[in-house]
Structure 1
């Protein structure tokens, strides 16, 4: 489980660094049709020499992450409060999420280009349109959007408060490494939280207007930052923050308490 967890953090770091780099490309040059989301990152890897091999390795590493989260849900996580029901429930949710991500990456590596490499924007709009067609669908989408927005704020606040310290082996770090961990943890977590909160806001707008086109995946959410009064520079900051979060994930691969 420890090996799987550390490999999974490493794989998560690769994906976030690539998503951040693609977002930065969009901010500075329009992106040239690139997707700044997981699908875009997977496609970028697949285009490189030995890309399929790398995708298989990433997918297997993400399976390790999913199994580790499952073990936390079943047996509790590291730390004095690791056996709390709320912690185990969150671990179960993360198991489902990472299982889906691992399946997407492995399916793409196996040749199903419509799986991991699909547009997050189209997927988000398709799901929103389907749910809006259900009885009470507007309420379901609206509550889901509020939940995503609140999760984004929660992620950002916890990052700013450096709550991640209790999950890391801080005593094993040099002062220089601690500074790097805190910079990437606070900056990266805040940027990631901002993306989640903004995506949640778009889901709420889709519910209020009963229009699935208002819902946005990660790519369109990131592009929306270029429409602010400061132009593309806010996206530059967010993109660099996502790269920082990827690097923070690599620190987790080394120092996480598992």
Structure 2
């Protein structure tokens, strides 16, 4: 190998390492930011279960709660930038492939691209809230769900579109819950660096938190299907109304307590992944 080829090879390897280091930092910041949101939503849902119904148990409520804390603006900007990191991480997975043997497969790249779009929107909403004079840009998930459902229902074939989308969310929720129960997340952990207590923590929070998250997704999708069948956009529910609906079951508020605790555990699980997941 001549000097020019060696220099080019060295430059490519240096760029690869630099990209890997930046991607890892973005991923860990993004997972931590996701953990903050789920933790706050879970805490708010617990407060609702025990009688405090004034806050929204969704991303908007979590952001508003964070804004009320000391140095709230700083915390919001930090959260928003962490979510930007999550979006950039998912974009890198879509372009270069994710960690793991099947990380370069087309369906994995498409899934990563979808996550990139989603977290880009979430990051934008949080940063818009932080930049606004009184906090704007992160409205109620319930109002957004009803508005989007109403618009789609009035399109040609709108009932089918809403119904299929709702069924897709139900399937996604079942998939999320099943992956948590199977502990699929273990494939991407740095097991050699994890102490025994960390492995137990990840299993408890991953299974319980992932199952609760999947359940909420599935129920929200079911409400969307019902809205399509009844041609009633008001039947659609965002995260806040979906969580509140658990308190109106025969189990009363205790089911909401369990689901809310699951969200708190998923927040802790996200923090654990930020520390021990291979990126």
Q: Mark yes or no: TM-score above 0.5.
A: yes
Secondary structure in structure 2 of the residue aligned to 1:29: coil
| Separation in structure 2 between the aligned mates of residue 15 and residue 198 of structure 1, nearest angstrom | 20
> Which residues of 2 match residues 3-152 of structure 1 at below 5 A?
3-31=25-53, 33-111=54-132, 113-116=135-138, 118-152=139-173
Q: Which string of whole-angstrom CA distances, capped at 9 and with x for unpartnered residues, describes residues 193-249 of structure 1?
A: 000000000000000000000000000000000011010000000000000000000
Q: Which string of whole-angstrom CA distances, capped at 9 and with x for unpartnered residues, describes residues 95-143 of structure 1?
A: 0000000000000000163312x10000000000000000000000000
> Which residues of 2 match residues 80-229 of structure 1 at below 5 A?
80-111=101-132, 113-116=135-138, 118-229=139-250
Bigger radius of gyration: 2
| Separation in structure 2 between the aligned mates of residue 67 and residue 158 of structure 1, nearest angstrom | 24
| Separation in structure 1 between the aligned mates of residue 273 and residue 99 of structure 2, nearest angstrom | 14
**Matched length:** 256
Instruction: From 244, 251, 255, give the equivalent of 2:265.
Output: 244
Point out 4+ residue stretches in structure 1 off by more than 3 angstroms: none
TM-align CA RMSD: 0.8
Question: How many angstroms does 1:30 deviate by?
Answer: 3.3
Give the unaligned 5+ runs of structure 1: none
| TM-score, normalising length: structure 2 | 0.91
| Separation in structure 2 between the aligned mates of residue 21 and residue 170 of structure 1, nearest angstrom | 30
| Separation in structure 1 between the aligned mates of residue 170 and residue 73 of structure 2, nearest angstrom | 35
Secondary structure in structure 1 of the residue aligned to 2:90: helix
Question: How many angstroms does 1:169 deviate by?
Answer: 1.1
| TM-score, normalising length: structure 1 | 0.98
Q: Which string of whole-angstrom CA distances, capped at 9 and with x for unpartnered residues, describes residues 17-56 of structure 1?
A: 000000000001132x100000000000111111011000
Q: Which string of whole-angstrom CA distances, capped at 9 and with x for unpartnered residues, describes residues 61-108 of structure 1?
A: 110110010010011001111000000000000000000000000000
Secondary structure in structure 1 of the residue aligned to 2:50: helix
Question: How many angstroms does 1:171 deviate by?
Answer: 2.2
